[in-house]
Amino acid sequence: MGKTDNHNLNPRLACPWPRQIKLAHLRMIAPDELKNWILHEDDDVIVINKPGDLVCHPSKAGPRSSLVGAVREYSGLALSHLIFRLDRETSGVVVFAKTSVMAARLQNAMQLRRVGKAYLAIMTGEFSEPVTVDQPLGDDENSMVLAKSAVRPGGKPAVTHFTPLSHGEGFTLVRVVTETGRKHQIRAHAQWLEKCIVGDKIYGPDERCFLDFLDHGWTPALAEKLLLPRQALHCSEIDMRKAGTPRVFSAPMPGDMRAFCEARGIVIPEGI
């Protein structure tokens, strides 16, 4: 490339990020594990409580390296339609449609915002009043992480409601409800509030934690900065009643988030 072409170079596209997650860091699903995660199954759907260390979409490491691959292997279906995804380190309710008819129905309901989603999160900082963030999201062009989102002019509309449940020792347990489904929406809006989610490698105290993790895995240095090996975000409820399926699927707070709260005296309300 000649010197005259340098002004056309996009440094974010030329850089080596985002690095690919090494196979050694991928979570492999044991043959009988998936059955223990199933919350509900019928002729139309499979509803699963996804662990917080598992990718949704297939990888090159085989069917048991992703939730989609494991569901296909378990069900024997040629296709298992993932209605919406969760980030690798977000746990909680995930819905698969078994038929193309049900998939189209639920995907249309998602687009029309007829599927309600609620999350539990542990956030840095203490606050006691509900907060709504109505800020557009787009690519964070100032980040070393290509996949990162940020509040920015010209972004896509995004609305997130944060309702504190309890707090202690500088942290708050929060119920989060989203009106839209943008990439990394909750995490980016939490960062905009300057109250990031505990354990978040990208939107937490230093986005270089994400790059360090991809290169070296979980280390004592990362543990000191992040406190949890994964982001403390859990999809606790999917309400499909407005989608024509008279069910609300829920998954209890996972053990790692519960232990974090209990160790800091953060009261966990009954029923979650």
Catalytic residue numbers, as ranges: 87
CA atoms within 13 A on the CB side of 263: 9
Give the pair of three-digit tokens for residue 215: 């290169």
138, 147 contact by CB (below 8 A): no
d(CA 131, CA 162): 5
Partners of 45 in beta bridges:
97
Helix (H, G, I), strand (E, B) or coil at 197: strand
Partners of 249 in beta bridges:
238
CA atoms within 13 A on the CB side of 14: 7
d(CA 175, CA 15): 37
Cis upstream peptide for 18 (omega within 30°): yes
Task: Give the residue carrying structure tokens 């049900």.
Answer: 102
